[in-house]
Amino acid sequence: VAGAILPLVAIGGMVRLASDEISGVADLAMGEPKQVRPKQVRLVQPAIPQNEKWNREKRPAHLQRLIELSSGTLPIPQLVIWPETAFAGLLGAERELFTKTVASALPYDGLLVTGVPRRHSRFLLLNSAVLVQPDGEIRESYDKQRLVPFGEYFPFRDLFPFATAIVGPMDYRHGTSRTPFTLQHYGLVQPLICYEVIFPGIVSQTEPRPDILVNLTNDAWFGGTPGPYQHLEQARMRAVEEGIPLLRVANTGVSAGFDAYGRTLARIDMDQAGFVDVNVPDPLAPTFYAIWGETLLSIGLLLLAVRTINLDRKRSLRQ
């Protein structure tokens, strides 16, 4: 049985990824899009070097770059997206500057999804994505749930009294709710911050099912390694496995838009400052993976283990 299930899962994945060439088969297997009504979004990649990103003196210049890229070509789409921690100051402490920046970047009816750090308590921060109106009012927010150990928090800090002396007293706190943003015309938009996007099945835990996935990230700290490109391909897989278009917006690459089949809609390469407008198609009907997750794979592995044990027993009896 396991031998039958595992090949079927693999064949399904190959059909899905080959949809450029056999889109008719893929449409029958995975379901037609609910409707064809592209929604335009502007992705902004500021390409700020990691060694400058948290420099307070350079923050006005960084924000001016975001403003210029966001309003670079008219008309400006209703939805503009900036990367993770695009506004590098604490939101509560620098709210006036944040409001002024947003007002300068958006049209009167525009909306912005951006990453911002927020304070939760004295020694705890939140790595957040926020949906912002042109007047700077935050309509909705999402706090990152999958934090990077030692990068965003020190595990078991209480057991290591020397931790504060090494990494400081501050940690990020994980979020507790995964609810999509609601945007008129765009539908339900689910943020995924940085490496949250590498985890299979994370979107299937979201209710209701989103129409667009948005991955905000900062890959500058990877440097010249393959990391940014690996991160990009892992993000693409979330679009394929869930049948939901994904927009990836990075501080310094690679930013891209993918449709529900994982096909590239637009792209800004590594270390390039720029923007690109993406016409985002609607999602497909829920995929096999979105419905079943890894249930059949788990059953197949269990049956394979049982079969292996039985074969070992038979060999032992023959001996």
Domain contains 145: yes
Tell me if residue 100 is catalytic.
Answer: no
| 278 vs 275: CA distance, rounded Å | 10
Domain contains 27: no
Q: What pLDDT is attached to residue 29?
A: 47
* CATH code (residue 159): 3.60.110.10
Domain contains 253: yes
Bridge-based pairing of strands 79-81 and 246-250 is unpaired
Domain contains 189: yes
Q: What pLDDT is attached to residue 110?
A: 93
Catalytic residue among 39, 53, 152, 194: 194
Domain contains 160: yes
Domain contains 116: yes
Note the pLDDT tens digit of each residue in 176-203: 888 899 999 999 999 999 989 999 888 8
Note the pLDDT tens digit of each residue in 92-117: 888 888 899 999 999 888 999 999 99
Domain contains 24: no
Q: What pLDDT is attached to residue 234?
A: 95
Domain contains 249: yes
Q: Which domain holds residue 152?
A: 33-284
Q: What pLDDT is attached to residue 202?
A: 80
Do residues 90 and 98 lie in contact, with contact meaning Cβ atoms separated by under 8 Å?
no
Q: What pLDDT is attached to residue 9?
A: 45
pTM summary value:
0.82
| Residue stretches of the chain with pLDDT short of 70 | 1-38, 319
Number of independent structural domains in the chain:
1
Tell me if residue 84 is catalytic.
Answer: yes
The structure tokens listed for 116 are 């911002």
Q: What pLDDT is attached to residue 6?
A: 43
Do residues 124 and 92 lie in contact, with contact meaning Cβ atoms separated by under 8 Å?
no
Catalytic residue among 53, 144, 196, 242: 144
Tell me if residue 144 is catalytic.
Answer: yes
